[in-house]
Structure 1
């Protein structure tokens, strides 16, 4: 699903100092600049993965709307296939985000950025759970149009999803701010 992640092998090699001898690079030498560049590349990759996640949520929502419109004799096999495909996409995205998180922490020495990714993963997981609950509530509200409780549950779940998306947005902003702080 996303581009291949840069390898960590080159990160471990320290280049020679400007005077030709081996040494620790100074703050403006290529190794440091390269490390910032690789962190920036990882964060750009994360941005792409978040866009893929957003697209997957959109497909899930569209598919659920189509499923509801097929009622009262729902086209469950088609919807089940969509859920299966979207679940595979979410799992793949999560694996890639976890790999970026590991690289930020272990290879690039950025546990602060890695922690943002851990929080992001938690919030995205919560968003997915809330989305599944919302879909069930929407179906129940459609099947019981006279009952107020399902409609109220739909509204509550929508609000919780909005709040979760706001938290996700804050995490992404914090990640961007903290990554720029050391450049």
Structure 2
């Protein structure tokens, strides 16, 4: 029997905002460490002016309109080595997988609020890890970032270019 749980329903937007924020912030860790300029994060869908813009250390954060299940990370690529760039891309899906594991722990051992939040986080971050790690171009039906390469696709293309350069 399926029951309606308003608490769980409210946890999904919170878990989604946390998961997208952590995923995008993880992308900028390697560029920040390498001293890249122009480091920015975007939370929310493309288009229009940001609802809010603020700085967290050296990172400019643009908050776009809801839904927050999309985001972007930007930096000056010229300052990164190929290995640093690959880590910058890989850290997004890896952070999502780590958040999924944290969500499972909260779900299994959490209480009245931590349990539903853990469930929402595990599901959202797990799907985010899978979708972003898959080596694909996002299809138009997703509506956000249609045609853009996933993190997995960017890593595969990067590896193939490096292989051709060394052949």
Pick the TM interval, shorter chain.
0.3 to 0.5
Q: Of the two, which has the highest radius of gyration?
A: 1
Q: TM-score, normalised by structure 1?
A: 0.32
Structure that is richer in helix per residue: 1
**Larger RCO (alpha carbons 8 Å, 6+ apart):** 2
